[in-house]
Amino acid sequence: MTHNVDIVSEYSSVLGEGPHWDDIKQRLLFVDITRSAIHRWDYATGKLQEAIVLEEPTIGAVVPREKGGFIAAAANKFLSVDEGTGKAETICQPTDNVKSRFNDGKCDPRGRFWAGTMGLEDIPAHPIPKQGEMYVLDTDLSVSTKMTNLDISNGLAWTKDATKMFYIDSLTYQVTSYNYDISDGSIANKQKVVDFILAEDGTPDGQCIDCDGNLWVAMFSTGIIIKIDTTRGEKVERIKISDTALKTTSCCFGGPNFDELFVTSALNGDYELNKGQKVGDSGRLFRVRGLGVNGSPAVAFKG
Q: Could you give the residue numbers annotated as active site?
A: 205
Element (H or E) spanning 258, and its range? none
Residue closest to 138 by CA, chosen among 115, 116, 112: 112
**In terms of C-beta density within 10 A (0-12 exposed, 13-18 middle, 19 or more buried), how is residue 148 classed?**
exposed
Q: Over the Cα atoms of the chain, what is R_g? A: 17
Pairing type for strands 285-289 and 4-9 reads antiparallel
Q: What order do you get walking across the sheet with 113-119 strand by strand?
A: 100-107, 113-119, 132-137, 143-150
- Name beta bridge partners: 80: 71, 89
CA–CA distance, 208 with 158 (Å, rounded to integer): 9
Phi, psi of 145 (to 5 degrees): -105, 125
CA–CA distance, 126 with 142 (Å, rounded to integer): 31
Residue 144 CA to chain centroid, in angstroms?
20
- Name beta bridge partners: 160: none
CA–CA distance, 22 with 43 (Å, rounded to integer): 10
